[in-house]
């Protein structure tokens, strides 16, 4: 098994091992921003992307194809902090931005990757195992903060290494990680996989409904689909948002045809994008 894992790492299928941290419990709110560019070239686009990636509070940044070109998510303490960063962004790049949309992340549900299983439609395999977006504030000290920063992008870091870096005992490290997990600050430990090297593509669907009262029933239905890996609950954007992994774009339309058939007349329309290159994923970006 270790040999196979090492092979996956060497081939770039496994990028790293990271920790899912609910920064909302540390007093942060996550704002998502979608951009459609204009008047650009490859150099300008790279500069814009780098602007967001270098910003300490950016935890997610991805290039997309479809109704917009770039999507990012940013942790901030308050709306004024976000507004200040956005004004700085516009001063530099306003000429290159054709359209922009904002939304507030309320929850992010992560689902098991059941599309890799043989018996794909077992409901038990779709059980939610991480939920990000809780609002209960948890007060942590500097040591906890440093532990989170160390394990955020390397969840396999040995406790002895954390102990040496922070000058505390290994039992103390284990106790603090266990406590942060019990408090819901640490939600889980995951593998960052490059799906493209396995022949898969990551898409996001934004669905708009004719009857919002049916949202929960539609959600209960789509959550069973083994290709869906994330479901977002946001304020200020689509009625239903979910990410899914498929091998070909035509599968997107097949999946949506099934949903439309099941809930005839309830879906107003949908858009989708291909999230083809992740530039940053860091659940604890603050330095």
Clarify whether residues 116 and 83 are in a common domain.
no
Clarify whether residues 86 and 145 are in a common domain.
no
| pTM value surpassing 0.75 | yes
Tens digits of pLDDT across the chain (287 residues):
788 888 888 888 888 899 989 988 998 999 999 999 999 999 999 999 999 999 999 999 999 999 999 999 999 999 999 999 999 999 999 999 999 999 998 888 888 777 766 555 555 555 555 665 656 889 999 999 999 999 999 999 999 999 999 999 999 999 999 999 999 999 888 888 888 898 999 999 999 999 999 999 999 999 889 899 999 999 988 999 999 999 999 999 999 999 999 999 999 999 999 999 999 999 887 76
Clarify whether residues 121 and 257 are in a common domain.
yes
Assess if residue 14 is contained within a domain.
no
283's tokens: 């659940």
Count of structural domains within the chain: 3
Clarify whether residues 49 and 149 are in a common domain.
no
Clarify whether residues 153 and 170 are in a common domain.
yes
Assess if residue 48 is contained within a domain.
yes
Clarify whether residues 126 and 224 are in a common domain.
yes
CB 128 within 8 A of CB 111: yes
Domain that holds residue 146: 139-182
Q: At a CB cut-off of 8 Å and minimum separation 6, what does 28 contact?
A: 57, 75, 76, 77
Clarify whether residues 125 and 251 are in a common domain.
yes
CATH number for the domain spanning 206: value is 3.30.70.920
Clarify whether residues 152 and 93 are in a common domain.
no
Assess if residue 81 is contained within a domain.
yes
Clarify whether residues 205 and 229 are in a common domain.
yes
Measured on CA atoms in the order 6, 116, 21, 206, is the torsion positive or negative?
positive
Clarify whether residues 29 and 102 are in a common domain.
yes
């Amino acid at each position: 098994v270790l040999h196979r894992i090492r092979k996956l790492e060497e081939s770039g299928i496994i990028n790293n091992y990271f920790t899912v941290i609910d920064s909302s419990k540390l007093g942060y709110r996550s704002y998502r921003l979608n951009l459609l560019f204009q008047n650009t070239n490859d150099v300008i686009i790279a500069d814009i992307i780098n602007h967001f990636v270098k910003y300490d509070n950016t935890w997610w940044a991805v290039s997309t194809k479809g109704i917009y070109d770039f999507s990012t998510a940013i942790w901030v303490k308050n709306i004024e902090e976000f507004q200040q960063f956005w004004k700085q962004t516009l001063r530099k790049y306003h000429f290159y931005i054709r359209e922009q949309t904002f939304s507030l992340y309320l929850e992010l549900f992560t689902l098991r990757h059941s599309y890799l299983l043989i018996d794909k439609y077992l409901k038990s395999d779709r059980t939610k195992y991480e939920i990000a977006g809780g609002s209960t504030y948890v007060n942590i000290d500097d040591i906890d903060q440093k532990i989170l920063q160390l394990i955020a992008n390397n969840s396999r870091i040995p406790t002895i290494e954390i102990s040496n870096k922070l000058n505390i005992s290994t039992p103390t490290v284990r106790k603090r990680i266990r406590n942060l997990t019990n408090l819901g600050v640490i939600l889980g430990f995951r593998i960052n996989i490059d799906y493209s090297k396995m022949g898969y593509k990551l898409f996001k669907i934004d669905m708009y409904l004719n009857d919002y009262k049916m949202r929960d029933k539609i959600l209960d239905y789509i959550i069973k689909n083994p290709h869906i890996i994330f479901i977002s609950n946001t304020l200020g954007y689509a009625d239903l948002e979910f990410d899914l992994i498929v091998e070909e774009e035509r599968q997107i339309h097949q999946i949506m045809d099934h949903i439309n058939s099941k809930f005839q007349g309830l879906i107003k329309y949908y858009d989708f994008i291909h999230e083809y290159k992740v530039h940053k994923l860091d659940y604890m970006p603050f330095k």
